Chain A
Amino acid sequence: MVETRTETLRRTALYPLHVEYGAKLVPFAGYEMPVQFPDGVKEEHLWTRSEAGLFDVSHMGPSFLTLAAGTRADPAAHAEIAAMVETLVPSDIRGLKPGQARLTVLLDGEGGILDDLIITRPYEEDRQGELYIVVNGAMKDQDWGIFESALAGRAVLTRADDGVLFALQGPKAEKVLSAYFPACADLKFMESRRIVMHGETFVVSRCGYTGEDGYEVWSGAAAGAELVRLLLDDPCVRPIGLGARDSLRLEAGLCLYGHDLSPEISPVEADLAWVIQKRRREAGDFPGAARILRELKDGPARRRVGIRPLERAPAREGTEIFVGGAAVGVVTSGGFGPSIDAPVTMGYVDAAHAAPGTKIDLMVRGKARPAEIASLPFIPTRYKR
């Protein structure tokens, strides 16, 4: 007998709102997610850059990692949990200030990237010994499994993807969100606070993935859905789908796991060496350190770069890159950037051809199209530092 299996797509707590707002829904990372709303990708993209866009990212992997003995009001508890996590990632987690968030990468033994993630040290004194960890939706089972098996008996991972995680991004985000959370106006980029409102807990972080100022907010399902409904009533706020999320992050020069990052790629190749702080480089005490330290010293063989096609034709993922007839790399993300009104592309090229301004050819449908290596991001970012 042939075994048949129907994949059941999960729905986030904001699914009813997506339907109400006329979303076009597609399968994504095991969930039924809005790819666009009736405004369309271009309008949604431009709206986010000029007003405020609301993104459902509840499919991602928010989680809390806590010392097995529990959290306590003691900075030493942070050092304990940080030391555990630092065996898996190359960033300085111990050195995080209370309420500070940091982008990092999970590494395999060869220094390949298993996922990119954000780790936050709670601000609250009684929560030292806990870390708030948000991983990619498509990778959460893998990532959580890695934490659980590596830290078994010493730390407890609590999956928090049954709640709501949304992002509010754009120049109006602070004004809109501070009506509910006045304290959020005082946060700087990559700072986070736990805020209790009407007895409900919200973890509010000033971060995002669009290049704009904005916030990501985690909460329980019902409270999150209620807040999102209120936010969408603000004339400055519109719901934004995955299509515009992709064009926004691409213009901002941000990586998408599974496309621009993979186990084949090291953080140095990915131009993410900045996630490895000085103390960790000096100690060399993270997975794949031999390769990564060598690449830091001698330079990697290939590098992630921005690419500007000089004609209107977008170059999509998988497009081969040539210099003088020789293959030198491949496009890992490509599309169209509504804010710069031109195609935008990222990819990997041999280090010799990675300097901005280098002329390259993109082989689009069998035809060489002129392009050049460009600095990232393609748009000025507007993080509130």
Chain B
Amino acid sequence: MTIYYTKDHEWIRVEGDTGTVGITSYAAGQLGDVVYVELPETGAKFARGDDFAVVESVKAASDVYAPVSGSVLEVNSALSEAPEKVNDAAEGDAWFVRVKLTDSGELSGLMDEAAYSAYCEGL
């Protein structure tokens, strides 16, 4: 099990050919109070870099981009009732979707935790 990160502040935790995707604590902190999360339907397919979800704070809406290509196996429906979970547990309970990876080779283009931490410090 490995966690990878994108420059757009998504994370993906990979187990075999499935991955759990969310936004990072850094991103949640930047957004501020999350009031709404729009998730895709189960079965939806997307390519790496597609916007697949939207997270809204009091002030603004932000797109969430797919870290890798895949199809949606499950969405975290708890977020529709309790979007504020994203502020409390962005990298835990507040995951967005579970996906089946189309091409695990895409993971090599992502950052590991150390690289992502260094990337955030440079922002």
- B42 interfacial contact with A, CB 8 Å: no
Sorted nearest first, the 6 A-B pairs with minimum C-beta distance are: A42-B33, A336-B35, A41-B58, A336-B58, A243-B59, A312-B36
The CA of A41 and the CA of B38, in the complex, are separated in Å by: 21
**Contact assessment for B33 and A41 in the assembled complex, using a CB-CB cutoff below 8 Å:** yes
**Contact assessment for A40 and B32 in the assembled complex, using a CB-CB cutoff below 8 Å:** yes
Whether A41 touches B32, Cβ cut-off 8 Å, given contacts A312-B80, A314-B61, A365-B38, is yes
Whether A246 touches B33, Cβ cut-off 8 Å, given contacts A313-B38, A365-B38, is no
**Contact assessment for B58 and A316 in the assembled complex, using a CB-CB cutoff below 8 Å:** no
**Contact assessment for B36 and A45 in the assembled complex, using a CB-CB cutoff below 8 Å:** no
Q: Distance in Å from the Cβ of A216 to the closest Cβ of chain B? A: 23
Which residue in A243, A312, A313 is a CB contact (below 8 Å) of B58?
Answer: A243
Binding site for B on A (CB under 8 A): 35-36, 40-43, 45, 243-244, 246-247, 312-314, 316, 335-336, 338, 343, 365
With a cutoff of 8 Å between Cβ atoms, the chain B residues found around residue A316 in the complex are 60-61
With a cutoff of 8 Å between Cβ atoms, the chain B residues found around residue A244 in the complex are 58
- B44 interfacial contact with A, CB 8 Å: no
**Contact assessment for B59 and A246 in the assembled complex, using a CB-CB cutoff below 8 Å:** yes
The CA of A36 and the CA of B38, in the complex, are separated in Å by: 24
**Contact assessment for B32 and A314 in the assembled complex, using a CB-CB cutoff below 8 Å:** no
**Contact assessment for B54 and A335 in the assembled complex, using a CB-CB cutoff below 8 Å:** no
- B56 interfacial contact with A, CB 8 Å: yes
**Contact assessment for A336 and B36 in the assembled complex, using a CB-CB cutoff below 8 Å:** yes
Whether A243 touches B32, Cβ cut-off 8 Å, given contacts A314-B61, A335-B58, A336-B58, is yes
- B57 interfacial contact with A, CB 8 Å: yes
Look across to chain B and name the residue whose beta carbon is closest to the beta carbon of A41.
B58
19 A-B residue pairs with CB within 8 Å: A35-B59, A36-B32, A40-B33, A41-B57, A41-B58, A45-B58, A244-B58, A246-B59, A247-B59, A312-B36, A312-B80, A312-B83, A313-B38, A313-B56, A314-B36, A335-B58, A335-B59, A336-B56, A365-B54
The CA of A246 and the CA of B33, in the complex, are separated in Å by: 14
The CA of A244 and the CA of B56, in the complex, are separated in Å by: 15
Look across to chain A and name the residue whose beta carbon is closest to the beta carbon of B35.
A336
Look across to chain B and name the residue whose beta carbon is closest to the beta carbon of A367.
B38
The CA of A43 and the CA of B84, in the complex, are separated in Å by: 13
Look across to chain B and name the residue whose beta carbon is closest to the beta carbon of A338.
B58
Look across to chain A and name the residue whose beta carbon is closest to the beta carbon of B84.
A42
The CA of A314 and the CA of B32, in the complex, are separated in Å by: 15
With a cutoff of 8 Å between Cβ atoms, the chain A residues found around residue B60 in the complex are 316
